[in-house]
Amino acid sequence: MEKILTEEEQRTFLELTDNASKVVICAHVSPDGDAIGSTLALKHWLTRKGKQVTVVVPNFFPDFLHWMPGAGEVMVYMKHEEEVKAIVEEADLFVIADLNDSARLMELEGCVMANPAPKILIDHHLNPADFCQLVISHPEMCATAEVICHLLHQLGELEVITAEEATCLYAAMMCDTGAFTYNSNRAVVYECISHLLNRGIDKDRIYRNVYWTCSVARMRLTGYLLYVKMETVPEMNASIITLTNKERKLFGIKNGDTEGIANMPLQISGMRLSVFLSEDTEHEGVVKVSLRSVDDFPCNEMAARFFNGGGHKNASGGRLHCGMDEAVRKVHEAIKSYAHLLK
């Protein structure tokens, strides 16, 4: 296990958490498994320390994550705007997890940044912005949950966390590595897993909850997207799948039913890049872009250059303010510009 804080940083972390009574933990817009798992693990841990802790997120998170311990207590700003604002205004400490810039809080950013209470950032994305008093950022790690594992180990806490906390951390790491199929070659990742297994988690059940539990609508949608909507660009070893809100209504899919779709074309022999375009259900005229790749193709670079986004080398995302046809055109433009890496 790795020591991730200097002695001064460790003192600062302990002072900030020890002196706080009302803690708000925030995650990024459209929270994924790492965001939800990391924030819930921190919530359980700080609650055991006697703190009043609330997890707040900008908008809804996928249904397939609702089984996580404590997920039912997560406050969604979009659904409970006034209640969340009141909680945020009273906070005397913020822990901001799994994002590198306050802008990724979206509508939640204004009220969080208006509160002068100290803020701790815990993250694994590149280039963290300077908006927190303490920044714990390790882009070399597979997930924010892994950063938390090392943090707890350094504090002498990892060996005594509860099964609930360990479950949240394992699920978060699993989600951000595609069940440990990418960005997970460092041996220390499995040291973390070993510690979590020793706390009594059921990793097989966690896997089933995330990857092997879906609705009939999701199953039918998957067949439709792969058979009807998937466009392959064989000369570029790339693929594009599109999903409109009209199609969402047609299949009756719920929040999270599209999780993992972006990865599926990478099962095709020789495929290096998969792009999934979906119309935003909350903002008209916005298309969400999900990028997945194998080996050394830089999804994060493409996302930043063409799609106003970023992320990790093999898994990134962005947004386009346009219609679906224009979004597809932009994807083809992006693919052509990376021909030297895709062919």
Domain for residue 227, yes or no?
A: yes
pLDDT value for 310: 87
In terms of domains, do 221 and 150 share one?
no
Which amino acid type is present at position 304?
Answer: A
Domain for residue 2, yes or no?
A: no
pLDDT value for 282: 82
In terms of domains, do 244 and 177 share one?
no
pLDDT value for 2: 86
Domain for residue 200, yes or no?
A: yes
In terms of domains, do 109 and 56 share one?
yes
In terms of domains, do 119 and 220 share one?
no
Q: How many domains does the chain have?
A: 2
User: What is the residue range of 127's domain?
Assistant: 7-211
In terms of domains, do 45 and 167 share one?
yes
Domain-ending residue, one of 173, 192, 211: 211
Q: How far apart are CA 77 and CA 56, in angstroms?
A: 7
In terms of domains, do 197 and 235 share one?
no
- The residues near 26 (Cβ < 8 Å, ≥ 6 apart) are 39, 55, 56, 57, 94, 95, 96, 97, 99, 105, 108, 112
Domain for residue 77, yes or no?
A: yes
* pTM (two decimals): 0.89
Distances from the Cα of 61 to the Cα of 7, 31, 232, angstroms: 36, 5, 30
How many CA within 13 A on the CB side of residue 160? 7
Domain-ending residue, one of 167, 186, 211: 211
Tokens 């993992």 locate to 260
In terms of domains, do 192 and 223 share one?
no
* Mean pLDDT for back-to-back runs of 10 residues, the chain (343 residues): 95 98 96 97 98 97 94 96 97 97 95 98 94 97 98 97 98 95 94 97 96 91 97 97 96 87 96 97 92 95 94 92 97 97 94
Token representation of residue 184:
């997970």
pLDDT value for 322: 97
Tokens 């896997």 locate to 207
- CATH (domain of 26): 3.90.1640.10
pLDDT value for 213: 86
In terms of domains, do 20 and 130 share one?
yes
Domain for residue 1, yes or no?
A: no
Domain-ending residue, one of 211, 233, 264: 211
In terms of domains, do 48 and 195 share one?
yes
In terms of domains, do 144 and 46 share one?
yes
In terms of domains, do 196 and 231 share one?
no
Domain for residue 95, yes or no?
A: yes
pLDDT value for 342: 96
In terms of domains, do 241 and 183 share one?
no
Token representation of residue 55:
């997890």
Ramachandran angles phi, psi of 189, nearest 5°: -55, -40
Q: How far apart are CA 98 and CA 125, in angstroms?
A: 7
